[in-house]
Amino acid sequence: MNDFIFKRSLLDKVVEITPKIIGGDRDIFIKSYERSIFSENGIDFLPTEEYKIIEDKGIFRGIHFQKNMPQKSLLSVLSGEAYIVAVDLNRESPQLGKYEKFFLSGEEAKLIFVPEWYGVATISQKDDTTISVMNSGQYYEKYRAGICYDDATLNIQWPTGDFRVSEKDKHLMTFKEYLGEQQLV
């Protein structure tokens, strides 16, 4: 029996989590969230919504965030493989504009916790990749926002160049435009 393992990333409050896994002769039990254990490890997270994204290899989503009333997220890959990229968008953070890349697979069952005021991008690496996202707080369509994947200021070195970007994501704002917007809590 393995207990949860919480590994702090280079970015403040972003955490890679290995869930509790119990393997037997007939099955495997994976416990990916328990509020008290997360809290004991410095993560204040109460999910209020969950959704799944199922996509083919090479699909890029992001860099998405909620520009007001930000949400915390817990991401995992249930099947397939994907890169998850977290970008610090907190104007008060000394790491503003910094990012970190994570590789997740359904076989490993790891999770990434991303706090509020971060943007998230995903790039699927296999067909039929399923990404699970749990969020805190409420989603507001009117606050949906994003930063363009090829923003020159962020200069993100994507782990692979082999991906497809939706027309919507090609026309997201720049990081400089984001910094110029008024931010509400």
pTM of this prediction? 0.93
DSSP track, 7-22: EE-SSTT-EEEEPEEE
Predicted local distance difference test score (pLDDT) of residue 28: 86
- Under a CB-based contact definition with an 8 Å cutoff, are residues 104 and 112 in contact? yes
The rounded distance, in Å, linking the Cα atoms of 148 and 152 is: 9
Tokens of 56: 């083919």
pLDDT in tens, 127-172: 999 999 999 999 999 999 999 999 999 999 998 778 999 999 999 9
Which pLDDT value is given to residue 1?
44
Strands 20-23 and 118-124: unpaired
Instruction: Give me the pLDDT at residue 184, please.
Output: 52
For the stretch 86-100, pLDDT in tens is 999 999 999 999 999
- Per residue in 33-92, pLDDT (tens digit) is 999 999 999 999 999 999 999 999 999 999 999 989 999 999 999 999 999 999 999 999
CB 158 within 8 A of CB 95: no
d(CA 78, CA 111): 10
Q: Where are the domains of the chain?
A: 46-180
Mean pLDDT of 113-132: 97
Q: CA-to-CA distance for 104 and 111, rounded, in angstroms?
A: 8
pLDDT score, position 24: 77
The Cα–Cα gap between 84 and 120 comes to: 7
Topology (CATH level 3) of domain 46-180:
Jelly Rolls (2.60.120)
Decide which of 116 and 29 is more confident: 116
Mean pLDDT for 15-38 is 91
